[in-house]
Structure 1
Amino acid sequence: MIKTTIKVIGGIARGTKKHTICYLAGMILLAIFPVCSVLLIKNMVNYVMELAQGGQPYIKFFFGVGLLFVAELLVQITKYSNSYREQRLKEELYCGFSDKLLEKYVSVEFSCFEEERSRNIIHHVGSAPQESLLEYFMTFFSLAGDFIEIFGYVIVFFSLSPLFGLLGTGCLGILLCLNFKRVDMMAKLYDEQTEDERKMLYLDKLLCTKTTLLDLKLNNAIDFVHHKRETLLRAIWKERLLRTLQSQFVYMFGDMSMVLWTGLVVFYVIYGITHGKLSYGVVVALLSAVQSIYGCSECLANDFASILKSGVNIRYLEEFMELPEGKKTEKVEKAEKTEKEVKAEKTEKEVKAEKTEKVGKAKKPGKVEKAKKLGKVEKAETAEKTENSGTMDGQGSLQFHHVSFRYPDAPKEVLRDVSFSIEPFQKVALVGENGSGKTTIVKLICGLYQPAQGRITLNDMDICRLPSEDAVKIYGAAFQDFSRYQFTVRHNVAIGSVERMGNDSEVFQAMEHAQASDLRKIIDKPLGMIEEDGINLSGGQWQKLALARAYFKKGQLLILDEPTASMDPKAESELYASFLKMMQSHTCIVVSHRLAIAKQCDQIIVLDKGQIVQKGSHDELLAEKGLYQEMFHAQSQWYREKDG
């Protein structure tokens, strides 16, 4: 917890020193004011009693009233100032941290989304972890203020009776220890229920999403899903209720210790009044302090619970920031390099300022040597970058060398010792049953995963070594679970090559190849449900835009994963004809269960249970009488029976 506090406070304060210091000062003042008010009220009551007995002059009374007014005025000003500082801290945190967070989301290794533990971490982090950071930051200062205020009240009690001070400190210690236990019990519960919460979100999504809701209505399955949701919800809340009762039972003992201490204070007050040992001012101050310290202990307990709860979220945020990253883009690398150079330059200037002229001269030869070494390193880096970028010139042979792959948490490999070669401008089809490894091969080519064993090369260059921004230029891909960007048609087509988005002829050409020319009339109209005038497209139209996007990118490899899954037979037939034109200018890889397109390819790779069982042209594979022949005849027979 101490390390977390140092990281959070230090991280936020690093960029907002002025606001942090002012906010801390404000919290200290707000903690001191209540104690000062109790002491002022004690004096005021004594002044009133003396005035009633014809003693002290009025000037002391009015002076006390003036001090109370000034104290209350300062409280209001400090609250206003802290509210302003809080908004400025929030602004700085959201603006500064959001970029780092988005950068991390983008760079997280794709395999993390397949792993159970990583998915839990990402789920807990959510879309706005800044709230947890800010809550932890604010609550920490509030907690510090509570301690200062309680410390002030304890001093007041010690001044009246050391015994009361010791008893009060002991009771507060018991309260905090038991409250820590209570919060720890609840934190473990929330951690255990992460998977159930994900299931709840999924069931909620089923009942709120248009496509799934339609399917549920047609199948009369809404009651079934609703029942599953209600059962899960009852189980979650039953466990939470039980754990809450247990935690409150633990906290009750600490609360009872405070009640007992309060009773002792009241007994002491009654004894002091009846025996004339306490003035009325002291009595009022004691009772006010007891009431205040009890309320402050409640705030302390709540703040402590809040900071522990936020600490759990921050723990997940720390784990999220430590998730493995894929290849960084050139922009990110440049930004990091620039940041390091700036820091190095600052350090160098500071060192130079401290050095004498004599020492500086003595160090000159060393600096020259370092400069030479640095020049060699830069040349080597430039040569390596040139070598890597050289693979981008022209078409190259794509080869799999004994590649094996296993998904995180998967019991067995989904690809085993896969080797094949795709020559420039060759049209290749990957076919096989569900789960045979077709889509996994595509994702490996796209760099979303890295092989567990073996290599994937393009022009004899390992594609895993290519800089991210060069690697993404190699391919244009359209997956069966394609994205539906609720922007405009133009944005959907050109989002992969934003610099050419304004080139109408290229955008229209890509749409024509994808049989999406009918959408030209709404090229700049918003799609989806976000805007009031948004246009909703059919599944087939969305898929055509995904295909147009893949073509528009003009990569060396054109990768199509189930490219006609959402289309009707007529549109599918027209698109197949268009595919043949597309394939002439690209090295093309097609994944499809429908073997009509595979028949047109130069090479067909047949996969079964993660291994290549056949390779060759359509005619060659039919002659082999293997798995491909079985699949092709089964599909052909289905069409013949349908036509008959």
Structure 2
Amino acid sequence: MTILFTDLGKAMRFVWQHGKMWVTASVLFMMLLGIVPIATLWVMKELINTVAGLIQYQPQAYSQALWLLILQFAITVSASLLQNVQRLIDQTFEFRLDHHLQNAMIGKTISVPLTYFDLPDFYHHLNRISGNQGTRFLSPVSNLFLIGKSLITLFSYLTFLFSIHWSLVLLSSLAAVPILLVQSKFGVERFHLIYQQTPMARDAKYTASLLWDRQSAKEIRLFSLGEHLRRRWSEKYIKNIKEVIKLSRRQHSANIGLDAVTALFYGGAAGIIVWLIRTTSLKIGDFVAVGQAVQGTQGAINQTAGLFASIYQESLFIGDFFRFLEYEVPGHDKQKGTRPFPVPLEQGICFDNVSYRYVNSERDTLREVSFMIHAGEKVAIVGENGSGKTTLVKCLMGLYPVSGGQIYFDQSPSDELANQEIYKNITVIFQDFMKYAYTIRENIVFGDIEKISESERMEAASVQTGAASFVQRFEKGYDTMLGRFLADGEDLSGGQWQKIALARAMFASGQIMVLDEPTAALDPDAEMEVFRQFQQLTQNKTTIFISHRMAAARMADRIIVMKDGRVAEMGTHLELTMLDGEYARMYRMQAQWFTDKQDYVEV
């Protein structure tokens, strides 16, 4: 319960911080709307009594009835005005609040270490809090104001009923207890059901996305996966819905019981009213007013109990949101270094007994890796798939915090360097590089967003990598949209996308360049073109070329062979072939394959 109030307090501080005017207006409207029901009840009582006087031929009652009708009209219009203005203000602020909350959530996702994206629990949490957060945050605060309004109304009704008889107050109040308990119980159960269903809901959502995604449409048709995936989605979806319906069935059954209890208490109050008519001189207007007041009291109590239960439920979701913002994995927190990157790099990069283990894994992916890359040297890191090559690059970039050992740039430990300094000085092209559904210009300048306006530099990078040769054929040139996800843009071939990615890397102009399997998805012609550009693209840069293709490694000054997360061999192509170890074995195997296909090309 303490945690609940803490989370609710955080939400209220957040709302106050971003909406002081909304809070002030809501409090004012709450107070005004809170007295509307009792004012309406009083006018109705007086009007009925006045009409009863007219029936008894009291001429002076005509004027009084007219003024009461005018007052009743004014109260009705004023209440409508207040309610609609309140809804408009609420909706406007809700949009603003949703923007602030999503901005905080996105800020978290772009700031956490890359390792978090290897954790299903992180994805489950992210999926669970996705949605209209503005409504969830505003709901408990709005409900507090509604509770304030209901309490003002309730106090007015109870004061009126107490003036008639104390027992009416007692009976009208007792109905709140079971309502509050039952609704709170089901609010907690709904939260825990959503919490438990998140993995299965993500599975259903992902499967559905495959069925309507353009990228996956080809393979789904080729392998006739449509019906299988539809059944998989349907099974997960129906299983989730059955659990939701089961809970709803129980809740609606409970609501029937609550309505019966409310009706029982109202019946008792009605019996007291009948008894009062026999023992006191109640006017007809007073009789109607007492009945309305009893119903109004029960309605206000029911609403207040429901609002408290809703606040309790929404506070659980709010707490889940704040826990996401505070999500941390011990030992995998964001790098906190502040030192500048050595420019220019004079000695090079040193891996000193570097180990890395994925979160929740029981074995090291990298194990005591040690080697030196001299400044300006071109090094190829080769090995079979799963040997740890790409993981090594992510550790080099500071994307993965090393579990043991240290990486040095000259004499500077990597964990003492500012992340942005590392990203600025190391340019990486991953095998699965991003293909942004934006313009060609944006796809290139994303390499150094701070220099987005430098068009000449962008075009020079495009010319250098050969991208300009096809860009100039497009009507809108560098302003051409790519892909067909956001607009009716141009679809590029794999080789053309590769040139765009290379242009992005050249635009970044880091002093260290890492090419991680950059030709894996290319046809032989496009691959050979990249190889021919290699010397030009990496001129005056310390270069790390990662590949599982031995022929490509011959472009490097030195070759590092990875196997099972360790450095197996190091040396030049000639030295390693003479060593007749792991590199020689892989080289002969691939050379034999190409020879058999009569397609082997010396690089």
Same fold (TM over 0.5): yes
Q: 1: CA distance between counterparts of 2:230 and 2:101?
A: 39
Question: How big is the shift at 1:127?
Answer: 6.4
- Indicate the residue corresponding to 2:24 in structure 1: 21
TM-score by length of 2: 0.90
Mapping for residues 391-402 of structure 1, pairs under 5 Å = 391-402=342-353
Greater shift, 150-159 or 491-500, is seen at 150-159
> Aligned partners of 1:569 and 1:145: how far apart in 2?
74
Report the equivalent of 2:198.
194
The TM-score, its normalising length taken from structure 1, stands at: 0.84
Write the letter of the residue equivalent to 1:449.
Answer: Y
Indicate the SS of the match to 1:418. strand
**Which runs of 5 or more structure 1 residues have no equivalent in the other structure?**
330-384
Residues 1:432 and 2:440 aligned together: no
> In the alignment, is residue 496 of structure 1 matched against residue 447 of structure 2?
yes
Using the alignment, how far apart are the partners of 1:146 and 1:632 within structure 2?
80
Distance in 2 of aligned mates of 1:202 and 1:558: 35
Map 1:516-527 onto structure 2 (within 5 A).
Answer: 516-521=467-472, 522-527=477-482
Instruction: Supply the RMSD in Å over aligned alpha carbons.
Output: 2.6
| Partner of residue 221, structure 2 | 217
Q: Distance in 2 between matches of 1:636 and 1:3?
A: 66
Alpha carbons 1:392, 1:470 under 8 Å: kept: no
Distance (Å, rounded) in 2 between the aligned partners of 1:270 and 1:538: 86
Which residue in 2 is equivalent to 1:550?
A: 505
Letter in 2 for 1:438: K
Deviation at 1:411, TM superposition (A): 2.7
Does the aligned pair in 1 maintain the 2:175–2:302 contact within 8 Å? no
Per mean C-alpha deviation after superposition, the further-off stretch among 497-506 and 633-642 is: 497-506
| Matched residue, 1:326 | 334
The yes-or-no answer on 1:4 pairing with 2:12 is no
Which of 478, 484, 490 pairs up with 1:535? 490
Instruction: Give SS of 1:564's match.
Output: coil
Contact 1:489 1:527 survives alignment (8 Å)? yes
Partner residue of 1:170? 174
- Distance of 2:161 and 2:585 partners within structure 1: 91
Q: How many Å apart are 1:451 and its aligned residue? A: 0.9
2:465 counterpart (514, 534, 543): 514
Q: Which amino acid aligns with 1:158?
A: F
Bigger drift between 430-439 and 477-486 goes to 430-439
Give the Å deviation of 1:187. Answer: 0.9
**Which residue is 1:47 aligned to?**
50
Q: 1:292 to 1:640 in 2, by over 3 A?
A: farther
Q: Is the 8 A contact 1:182 1:248 kept in 2?
A: no
Q: Which runs of 5+ in 2 are unaligned?
A: none
Question: 2: distance between equivalents of 1:295 and 1:532?
Answer: 53
Calculate percent identity across the aligned residue pairs.
28
Per the TM alignment, residue 523 of structure 1 is displaced from its structure 2 partner at its CA by 1.7
**Structure 2 CA distance for partners of 1:538 and 1:278, relative to 1, 3 Å:** farther
Deviations 1:25-58, CA, capped at 9 Å, x for gaps: 1022212211221222122111211221234633
Following superposition, the deviation at residue 152 of structure 1 comes to: 3.4
Cα distance in 2 for residues equivalent to 1:597 and 1:120 = 40
Q: Distance in 2 between matches of 1:166 and 1:16?
A: 39
Counterparts of 1:230 and 1:92, CA distance in 2: 36
SS of 1:422's partner is strand
1:359-398 → structure 2 map (5 Å cutoff): 388-389=339-340, 391-398=342-349
Aligned match for 1:571, one of 499, 515, 526:
526
Aligned equivalent of 2:288 = 284
CA–CA distance in structure 2, aligned partners of residues 618 and 611 of structure 1: 19
Q: State the partner residue of 1:481.
A: 432
Distance in 1 of aligned mates of 2:292 and 2:407? 76
- Give the alignment partner of residue 75 of structure 1, picking from 79, 86, 93: 79
The within-5 A match list for 1:315-354 is: 315-324=319-328, 326-327=334-335
Aligned pairs for 1:29-428 (under 5 A) are: 29-55=32-58, 57-87=61-91, 89-90=93-94, 93=97, 100-126=104-130, 129-272=133-276, 278-293=282-297, 295-296=299-300, 299-300=303-304, 303-304=307-308, 306-324=310-328, 326-327=334-335, 388-389=339-340, 391-428=342-379
Find the aligned partners of 2:34 and 2:373 in 1 and give their Cα distance: 73
Task: Provide the rounded CA distance (Å) in 2 between the counterparts of 1:120 and 1:226.
Answer: 22
Q: Does 546-555 or 251-260 show the bigger shift?
A: 251-260
Aligned to 1:356: none
Q: 1:519 to 1:131 in 2, by over 3 A?
A: farther
Output one character per residue of 1:333-376: Cα deviation in whole Å (capped at 9) or x when no partner. Answer: xxxxxxxxxxxxxxxxxxxxxxxxxxxxxxxxxxxxxxxxxxxx
Name the amino acid aligned to 1:236: N
Aligned-pair distance for 1:615?
1.9
Q: How does 1:558-637 map to 2 (within 5 A)?
A: 558-637=513-592
Q: Secondary structure at the residue paired with 1:412? A: coil
- Alpha-carbon contact 1:513-1:579 (below 8 Å) kept: no
Conserved 8 A contact 2:373-2:379: yes
CA contact (8 A) 1:107 1:327 kept: no
* Number of corresponding residues: 587
1:107/1:328 contact within 8 Å kept: no
Provide the C-alpha distance between the structure 2 equivalents of 1:543 and 1:128, rounded to a whole number of angstroms: 38
Shift of 1:499: 4.4
Measure how far apart 1:422 and its partner are.
Answer: 0.9
Identify the residue that residue 332 of structure 1 maps to in structure 2: none
Q: Give, as a single letter, the amino acid of the residue that structure 1 aligns with 2:535.
A: L
